[in-house]
Structure formats: structure tokens, C-alpha cells
Amino acid sequence: MAQSGFSINPTRSEQLLFLTDDQLRQGIELMFFAYREFTADPDRILDARGYGRAHHRAVHFINRRSGLTVNELLDILGVTKQSLNRVLRQLVEDGLVESRVGAVDRRQRNLRLTEAGRALEHELSAAQRRRMRAAFSLAGPEAVHGFRTVLEAMIDPETRERVLGALERER
């Protein structure tokens, strides 16, 4: 394995979580390269269909929370209504997403994946699950727990509880 600024046997300062700017920069670069590889397989699948990462995010969250409203998806993704409408319109026209009038509030639109949408989501997530499973197996359970802790801590405090609550409800 390549030598990095992060030691297998942490120094006293690393144990106290005092990291140098160089170590933090290395962490940022590792995150960049990991994200690039994490998205590479789905990007190839999406590109073949004329879709991008915005389509992937929409399909992912519609699958995870079938029946969610357009406003709920806007909140999750943190994008503008205009950009989401462009993505949703294409997914609906291509038969991957259904938009139904809300049962309680007819002004709402509830979103669900069609069978074709579920197949695409499965193909996209299978590629990412394979990569994560291999990395987690290599790293071991303590590293996996630490990684999750770091990811949770990187989420802004005002949204962290909402995100973690949603993950817990999906179990």
C-alpha cells in the first residue's frame, strides 16, 4: 500500500487529533480521488443513457423514499426547483419515474420509480456497493466505524440529525 501522511501507528499528536495542514490536504486529496472512483462506474452507466449525476441522485433518493414529494426531494438534494424539474421531466418522459397527484394534498406530486427506474437504480448502486464492500472489507470494522463517524461529523450540525434520523427510519 502507498505511503501516506497518515501513519498506521499514529503519533501522539495524531492520537490527540491534531493534524498538520499537510495531513489535512492529503485527506482532502484522498477524498477527491475516492469520490472520483466511487462515481466512475455509475457515470459510465449514466453517460450511455444521456444522464448525469443529478439524475443519479434523484433516482437514488426516490428509490430510498418511494412516494416522497417533489418538495421533499428538493430539500434532500438542496438544488433549485428549476434544475430538479429539468431532471424529473426527463426521468418521467423516459419512463423511469412516475409522478402522481398526492392522496392527501392534490397540489403535491409523489414520486416513485417505475420497474425500469428500479432496474437502473439497482445497476447504479450495485457498482457502488461492490466498491464500498471491497474497501470496507480491506479496512476492517474499526476503520468502517471511524469512517462513518467522520462522514457524520462532516455534515452541517443543523442538518445532521435530520439526515441521521432519515437513515435510521430507512432501516
Calculate what percentage of the chain has a pLDDT beyond 70: 90
Label residue 149 by pLDDT band (50, 70, 90): very high
pLDDT tens digits, 1-33: 444 555 566 665 555 567 888 989 999 999 999
Measured in whole angstroms, how far is the alpha carbon of residue 153 from the centre of its chain?
16
- pLDDT exceeds 90 at position 120: yes
Q: What is the mean pLDDT of the chain?
A: 89
Cell numbers at 58, concatenated: 434523484
Torsions phi, psi of 17, nearest 5? 65, 30
Q: What is the pLDDT of residue 12?
A: 58
Averaged pLDDT for residues 111-128: 97
- pLDDT exceeds 60 at position 134: yes
pLDDT tens digits, 58-70: 999 999 999 999 9
Torsions phi, psi of 101, nearest 5? -65, 140
Q: What is the pLDDT of residue 73?
A: 96
Q: What is the pLDDT of residue 101?
A: 84
pLDDT tens digits, 85-100: 999 999 999 999 999 8
What is the rounded distance in angstroms from the CA atom of residue 122 to the CA atom of residue 55?
14
Of 161, 141, 152, 125, the closest CA to residue 38 belongs to 125
- pLDDT exceeds 80 at position 170: no
Averaged pLDDT for residues 48-66: 96
Cα–Cα distance list, 77 to 80, 84, 104 (Å): 9, 9, 24
Q: What is the pLDDT of residue 11?
A: 60
Read off the pTM.
Answer: 0.83
What is the rounded distance in angstroms from the CA atom of residue 84 to the CA atom of residue 111?
12
